């Protein structure tokens, strides 16, 4: 009986020891995870801010208002991504539509990647036409402190060419402390990586 009790005590002690080890392991992993979360992520070279809510916003479905006298009351520019709204008149008014929004389709007809999306848009324009809309987005990146010897004329030429290819707007702040990129959601999302790589050629660290 004494031997049996001793074996039972030994088994319990071993079980407790294994349980303690598991608990210590969990605590260690938790501390490591917390430390990793707290540790600042050091990004080298130029980088844009993290995507904001506009870059992650879902497409909106709206109904166009078209008046026989004033039409839709909007000025829009054709782009590779659709019709970008430049101005909205008070009459007839377009509920939910904002300046800078990009109309990507109208009544089920896509306006993306077309040579003449303006013609397709005009053909489908009617009162109550259903449109899919994505927002205008803007992101900004700080020029790394201590950047010297920058070939600004060359950079501006490269930025202009890149902006034309991706149909975004790239702008250098007046004090050259930051660079902004803006345009339709799809354009900004698609250009983010390429623009970052281009700017890191001039601001590597």
pLDDT in tens, 149-188: 999 999 999 999 999 999 999 999 999 999 999 999 999 9
Task: Note the pLDDT of residue 23.
Answer: 76
The pLDDT of residue 9: 46
Q: Average the pLDDT over 1-25 and give the result.
A: 56
Instruction: Give how far Cα 192 sits from Cα of 1, 87, 188, Å.
Output: 75, 26, 6
Predicted TM-score (pTM) of the model is: 0.75
Q: If you average pLDDT over every residue of the chain, what do you get?
A: 88
pLDDT at position 30 is 72
Question: Are 72 and 52 within 8 A, CB to CB?
Answer: no
Q: Above 60 in pLDDT, residue 10?
A: no
Lowest mean pLDDT, pick from 11-15, 33-37, 94-98, 192-196: 11-15
CA-to-CA separations, 142 to 46, 139, 179, 204, in angstroms, rounded: 7, 10, 7, 13
């Amino acid at each position: 009986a004494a031997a049996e009790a001793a074996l039972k005590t030994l088994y319990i002690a071993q079980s407790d020891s294994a349980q303690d080890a598991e608990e210590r392991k969990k605590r260690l992993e938790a501390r490591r995870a917390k430390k990793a979360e707290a540790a600042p992520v050091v990004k080298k070279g130029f980088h844009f801010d993290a995507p904001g809510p506009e870059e992650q916003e879902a497409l909106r479905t709206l109904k166009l208002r078209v008046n026989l006298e004033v039409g839709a009351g909007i000025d829009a520019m054709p782009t590779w991504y659709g019709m970008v709204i430049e101005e909205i008149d008070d009459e007839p008014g377009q509920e939910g539509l904002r300046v800078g929004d990009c109309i990507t389709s109208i009544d089920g007809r896509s306006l993306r990647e077309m040579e003449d999306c303006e013609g397709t848009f005009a053909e489908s324009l009617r009162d109550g036409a259903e449109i899919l809309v994505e927002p205008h987005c803007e992101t900004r990146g700080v020029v790394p402190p201590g950047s010297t010897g920058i070939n600004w004329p060359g950079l501006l030429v490269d930025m202009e060419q890149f902006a034309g290819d991706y149909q975004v707007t790239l702008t250098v702040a007046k004090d050259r402390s930051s660079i902004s990129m803006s345009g339709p959601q799809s354009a900004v999302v698609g250009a983010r990586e390429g623009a970052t790589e281009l700017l890191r050629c001039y601001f590597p660290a």
